[in-house]
Structure 1
Amino acid sequence: ILYWHRKLVALKYTAKRKIQTDRQKEMEVIREFCIKFAEENASWGYGRIQGALSNLGYVVSETTVGNILRAAGIPPAEDRMKKSTWKQFVRSHMATMCVADFLTTEIWTLRGLVRYHTLFVM
């Protein structure tokens, strides 16, 4: 009976360590995602990042996201938006951005000076 009791006690405490280790590994992945989302999307606040993590299947609170970003030295969304550069804006909107330009050019032809209208869309 003592052997059985010791074995059950040992299983009880080793199971917690395994769960805790798995959560620590998961928190490292969550930390990487939080930092990546915050750096790539300056307008995303803690709630938006928490929602994105939820869509990926990770359960965390907004407070946890805030703690992770503060520990990494990343300011809140309001401060990140103020420091955003034009290059960062273009990079983050590249997939949805459309560029168009309209110009006119005068060209000499056999009929004289002719104005051509050009619409460029990319």
Structure 2
Amino acid sequence: MQFASIVTPDRILYWHRKLVALKYTAKRKIQTDREKEMDTIREFCIKFAEENVSWGYGRIQGALSNFGYEVSETTVGNILRAAGIPPAEDRMKKSTWKQFVRSHMATMCVADFLTTEVWTLHGLVRYSRMNFARPWKHQE
């Protein structure tokens, strides 16, 4: 059986590599001074919340004001919610994966971590595998 080929396998692989590269390439933009300051405030808020699980929005706001950044408690709450960090009451009940890794960093050595991009009906999806004993897992 013969068939006509419009594209070669090399061309399909080229398109795949190009699409993967475009998926993870961010466009650069010029930031204003306030946007740069908000990036710094965002970093501080997340760092304070992760390192001090008992601190609420008001305590984080106070720590920011000690550094010269004046923001409202609502802004702190919005930043933490956008980052997926729960309020202090919920943070004290459980530790996050990041906290677990930080506390066990001295005893950890190496972990295999592989990813691949897979074409699905929903577009290009990243699948990952932590080691060879576990099956591939979808990562959003």
Q: Tell me the TM-score range normalised by the shorter chain.
A: 0.5 to 0.7
Selected match of 1:79 from 77, 81, 90:
90
Say which is worse superposed, 82-91 or 31-40, in terms of deviation: 82-91
Tell me, yes or no, if the aligned pair for 1:34 and 1:65 is still in contact at 8 Å.
yes
Identity among equivalent positions (%) equals 93
* Stretch deviating more after TM superposition (103-112 or 33-42): 103-112
What 5-or-longer segments of structure 2 have no aligned partner? 1-11, 128-140
Greater relative contact order (CA < 8 Å, ≥ 6 in sequence): 1
| Structure with greater helix percent | 1
Deviation of residue 21 (structure 1)?
1.2
For the 8 Å contact 1:43–1:78, the answer to whether it is kept is yes
Q: Tell me, in whole angstroms, the C-alpha distance in 1 between the residues paired with 2:57 and 2:44.
A: 12
The answer on whether the counterparts of 1:30 and 1:58 sit within 8 Å (CA) in structure 2 is yes
Structure with higher Rg: it is 1
Dislocated runs of 4+, deviation >2 Å: 1-20, 84-116
Alignment counterpart, residue 5 of structure 1, candidates 9, 16, 31: 16
Greater displacement, 100-109 / 84-93: 100-109
Higher strand share: 1
After superposition, the CA RMSD in angstroms is: 25.1
* C-alpha spacing 1:92/1:64, structure 2 compared with 1 (3 Å): farther
TM-score normalized by the length of structure 2:
0.47
Residue 31 of structure 1, aligned match among 24, 42, 45:
42
Whole-Å separation in 2 of the counterparts to 1:37 and 1:77? 11
TM-score (norm 1): 0.53
Distance 1:73 1:87, change over 3 A: closer
CA contact (8 A) 1:34 1:68 kept: yes
Cα distance, 1:37 vs. partner?
0.3
Kept in 2: contact 1:41–1:92 (CA 8 A): no
Contact 1:40 1:92 in 2 (8 A): no
